[in-house]
Structure 1
C-alpha cells in the first residue's frame, strides 16, 4: 500500500469543437483516500478559477475499455479525431444545464493516473476508507 493519501496529475486535453479546430487545454486530475470513490478533474480554461467536475473512479476506469456512463458524464475509447491507434484516445463528454463539452485525452496518461489511485486504495476496498459515522454527522448538521 502506498503511504501517500493523494495523487494528482496534469493532463493535456483537446476540446473537440464541431466544425472548428481542436483546442488544446490543460486539466488537473486529483484523487484522495478521503473520497475513495471519486476523481476530481479541474479544467484550466483561462478563468480565475478552474472548472471542476467530480465523477466515479470506476466510470473512468471502465471507460478505457468501452463506452460507459449515463447522463452528465460519458467516457469511451477511440482512435481520436486525428487518427491514431484504436483505443489510444479517451473521450470524455460532459453535459450540464450550461452546455456540453467533448474532450479527448491520451488513454496512456489516464491509465497511469488510475494505476496510482489503485496503489492508494485498491479496487473494491473503497468502503474501508469511508467514515460513515462522520459523514452522517456532517449530513445531519447541514440539515439542521
Structure 2
C-alpha cells in the first residue's frame, strides 16, 4: 500500500434536465479518497438534503469520451461537446444531469495526479474492506 495521499475534492454545478425547461442548477461535491482508489463519490445537493452516489473513477473517465456504464450510473458526452451527461437510476427514481466536461476532466486529472491509473491496487486495503463488510453481517 502507498503512503497517505490527501483526498481530491471539487464542487461542480450540474444541470438537472427537465422536460421543456432550462436545466435546474444542482450543486455537486465530488470527492476522490485514495483509501478507496477505484471510486468517485458525488454528493448532489437536492432540496434540503444531499443525495450521495458512489461510482467508478474509470466510468467517469470513459464517459467523457464515449457512452459508458450499463447499470445505475451511465455517463456519456452530450451533443454539445463541452458538456457531459450523467444518468442516475435508483428504485426511487431517476435523474438526468449535465455538467461541464472541462470541470470533470480537471477533477479527474487531479485524481490521477494523486494515484495514477493502474496504481490503484497499491493503495487498496483489501483486509480493511473485508473488515468493513464483516461488520455489516
TM-score surpassing 0.5? yes
Partner of 2:85: 91
Partner of 1:66: 66
Contact 1:5 1:34 in 2 (8 A): no
Partner of 1:37: 38
Q: How many residues align?
A: 136
Partner of 2:136: 142
Q: 1:67 to 1:131 in 2, by over 3 A?
A: same
Q: In 1, Cα distance between the equivalents of 2:94 and 2:136?
A: 31
Partner of 2:132, secondary structure, is helix
Q: In 1, Cα distance between the equivalents of 2:19 and 2:91?
A: 19
Partner of 1:130: 124
Name segments (4+ residues, structure 1) moved above 3 Å: none
Deviations 1:78-118 (A, max 9, x none): 234xxxxxx21000000001111000100000000000000
Gaps in structure 1 of 5+ consecutive residues: 81-86
Match of 1:116 among 106, 110, 124: 110
Q: In 2, Cα distance between the equivalents of 1:79 and 1:139?
A: 41
Q: In 2, Cα distance between the equivalents of 1:43 and 1:142?
A: 26
| TM-score normalized by the length of structure 2 | 0.91
Gaps in structure 2 of 5+ consecutive residues: none
Partner of 1:50, secondary structure, is strand
Partner of 1:102, secondary structure, is strand
| TM-score normalized by the length of structure 1 | 0.87
Point out the structure with max Rg over C-alpha. Answer: 1
Q: CA RMSD in A?
A: 1.8
Query: In the TM superposition, what is the alpha-carbon distance from 1:6 to its structure 2 partner?
Result: 0.5
